Amino acid sequence: MSHVYVVGIDMIRFGRYPDRTVPSLAAEAALMALDDAGLTLKDMQALYCGNLGQASGMVGQRMLAEIGQTAIPVTNVANACATGATAFRGAWMSIKAGVYDTVLAVGVEQMGKGLLGGGGGVSPEGLVGSYTMPAMFAHIGMEHSQKYGTTFAQFAQVSVKNHHHSTLNPKSMYRKETPLEEVMGSEMIAYPNTKLMCSVNVDGSAAAVLMSEKKVKQLGLMDRAVRIRASEMSSNPYEERQAAMPDFSGATRVAAKRVYEQAGLGAEDINLVELHDCFATAELVHYENLGLCADGEAGRLIDDGTTALGGRVPVNVSGGLLSKGHPLGATGIANIYEVATHLRGKAGARQVEGARIGMTHVVGGGPGMGTACAIHILEKV
């Protein structure tokens, strides 16, 4: 079966845009992606639009009201931190199914500052443990510590690495070195995650133009195309402790197994990864979930620089969610933008040399809700 390609992709610089609207942020990225493809909205046959904060607010249609009401079908998508990637995958499936040749996918989010959730009514917070995101992801890190002896400093080093990477990325929210002492010494939120080990709540948008192989050839766009080698998703499999500690590993392992099978590749074939470092603890655990190393070896990978720029498999060279920022609905497509940019050899100072195959991963959910995971493998044409 023929492949689907990304022929245009871009993102706005992540930051705080309190004076903008969600549709206007989405529109900006959409136009950037169209320009990157050298196409117009009139070439698009369908739109998949991902957003969480206004999930019932018809964001896709409101975006088209700003840039062109061409009456194309709009599918608005909400799926926790996998929202943007789910929209992208919807576009991919519609082309794979032969329904369309050219489809636009957009992810967008406008966020407040501070802890997500809380607010409103009587809460068991504090009486029955914690329902904050930092605490949930602290548990995942502490589970790894309990099994393998992973240390606070090893988790903190993830944040040092990703903040360093972000100094090379002009689209990152923050672009500042954070030495280990600064990361470990910043405000403790939920041990071992300090403030600098929590992702940044920012506003952002990203968009991609997906196209069938037939159409790419017909329009002569192969020179700017990136092949979608595989697209997979999962929800959380049954895990014994999931009611006590939401599970992000089980879903990631299922999706990783599926995506390697679909691609006909193994973890050893991957040249760079953008994975879901919503908290520093999560990144180390996902090294193992994605098969970048054997179980128990994630601490060694961060210690020996394997996952830093210049290492065997650089992870989150964009700066990751920790420094680039994490606008929930936009993150999935922004990850794909990063990997596609490396595969096109256009990543500038942070370019992963010789990158041919890259992986993107997002996983999200919450206490009592379950998990959504999406993984894509992209290939240089």
81 is catalytic: yes
Q: Is 123 in the site for another protein (CB under 8 A)?
A: yes
Residue 241 in the binding site for another protein (CB under 8 A): yes
Query: Which amino acid is it at 221?
Result: L
Can you tell me which residue has the tokens 């006590």? 244
CA-to-CA separations, 34 to 38, 112, 191, 293, in angstroms, rounded: 6, 29, 44, 38
Among candidate residues 326, 342, 361, 376, the one labeled active-site is: 326
Stretch that binds another protein, among 60-68, 139-147, 161-169, 303-311 (CB under 8 A): 139-147
- Of 192, 190, 199, the closest CA to residue 153 belongs to 192
Q: Is 71 in the site for another protein (CB under 8 A)?
A: no
Q: In what order do the strands lie in the sheet with 370-380?
A: 74-77, 46-50, 102-109, 204-212, 4-11, 226-235, 370-380, 357-366, 272-274
Which residue number, 222 or 244, has a Cβ lying nearer to another protein? 244
How many CA atoms lie less than 13 Å away from 311 in the CB half-sphere?
20
Rank residues 176 and 195 by Cβ distance to another protein and give the closer one. 195
Q: Which stretch binds another protein (CB under 8 A): 80-88, 110-118, 157-165, 351-359?
A: 110-118
User: By C-beta, is 90 or 192 nearer to another protein?
Assistant: 192
Give Cα 81 distance to the centre of its chain. 8
Residue closer to another protein by CB (options 100, 137) is: 137
Q: Smallest distance from the beta carbon of 228 to another protein, in angstroms?
A: 33
Number of residues that bind another protein (CB under 8 A): 37
Burial class (CB in 10 A: 0-12, 13-18, 19+), 52: buried
Q: For the chain, report the end-to-end CA distance as a whole number of angstroms.
A: 17
Which range touches another protein (CB under 8 A), out of 100-108, 127-135, 156-164, 201-209?
A: 127-135
Applying CB under 8 A, does 113 fall inside the site for another protein? Answer: no
Name which of 173 and 190 has its Cβ closer to another protein: 190
Host H or E run for residue 7: strand 4-11
Under rule CB under 8 A, which residues in 201-240 are in contact with another protein?
Answer: 238, 240
Can you tell me which of 18, 121, 220, 354 binds another protein, judged by CB under 8 A? 121
CA dist 159 to 146, 165, 187, 276, Å? 21, 10, 14, 13
Position 196 contacts another protein (CB under 8 A)? no
The pattern of x and - marking residues 143 through 182 that bind another protein according to CB under 8 A reads: x--x-----x------------------------------
- Largest Cα span, the chain: 62
Cα–Cα distance, 196 to 181 (Å, whole number): 11
Residue found under tokens 């990703």? 162
- Choice among 81, 278, 293, 373 that is catalytic: 81
CA distances from 138 to 28, 154, 348 (A): 35, 13, 34
Binding another protein (rule: CB under 8 A), the pick from 126, 223, 268, 354 is: 126
Cβ neighbours of residue 82 under 8 Å, at least 6 residues apart? 233, 332, 362, 363, 364, 372, 373, 374
Confirm or reject binding of residue 115 to another protein (CB under 8 A): yes
Two structure tokens written together for 31: 């136009």
Backbone angles phi, psi at 232, to 5 degrees: -145, 155
Binder among 6, 12, 190, 210 for another protein (CB under 8 A):
190
Determine, following the binding rule CB under 8 A, whether residue 189 of this chain makes contact with another protein.
yes
21-60 residues near another protein, rule: CB under 8 A: none
Stretch in the footprint of another protein (CB under 8 A) among 191-199, 224-232, 282-290, 324-332: 191-199
**Which one of residues 73, 117, 296, 348 is an interface residue with another protein (CB under 8 A)?**
117
Quote the least distance from Cβ 250 to another protein, whole Å: 12
Binding site for another protein (CB under 8 A): 115, 117-130, 132, 134-135, 138-139, 142-143, 146, 152, 187-193, 238, 240-241, 243-245
Catalytic residues: 81, 326
